[in-house]
Amino acid sequence: MNHKTLDWLFRQTARELSFSSCPFIEARLFIQHSARMTEAEFFHHLDSPVLVSLEKKVNRLVEKRKAGWPVAYLLGKKEFWSLEFKVNRWVLIPRPETELLVEAVLSLSLSPGPAILDVGTGCG
């Protein structure tokens, strides 16, 4: 009989991701992604038993993360400027500091002046 709970999987996954700067966040995201659950569902079901299939899915993500894959590629998405973008290994992942650049450019473009054209600064 399997007595492993979602909380156990969460803590075990975070331990495996201890090399990361945010192991608990990554562990939660990997579990949510693998189980197709929301953050609220995750916290509501911490005492629920874990299926072996879910544990295997999460472990595959952990192994790829250990191999250096970015979290965004493993989840297939990345939030940028409150928008969610699909990403994969063929596109650049939006960086947090780029949000500051967008805000700076938008503050400039509110005043009368030249138009701004973005050419070749990203992947598409």
In this predicted model, what pLDDT tens digit does every residue of 10-47 receive, in sequence order? 999 999 999 999 999 999 999 999 999 999 999 999 99
Tokens 């916290």 map to which residue? 43
Q: Residue 64 pLDDT > 60, yes or no?
A: yes
CB 30 within 8 A of CB 12: no
Mean pLDDT in residue range 62-67: 98
Tell whether the torsion through CA atoms of 35, 40, 42 and 47 is positive or negative: negative
Beta bridge partners of residue 78, listed in sequence order? 85
Distances (CA, A) of 96 to 28, 101, 115, 123: 20, 9, 24, 16
> Which regions of the chain carry the CATH code 1.10.8.10?
6-74
Q: Residue 122 pLDDT > 80, yes or no?
A: no
- The H or E element spanning position 85 is strand 83-86
CATH class of 6-74: mainly alpha
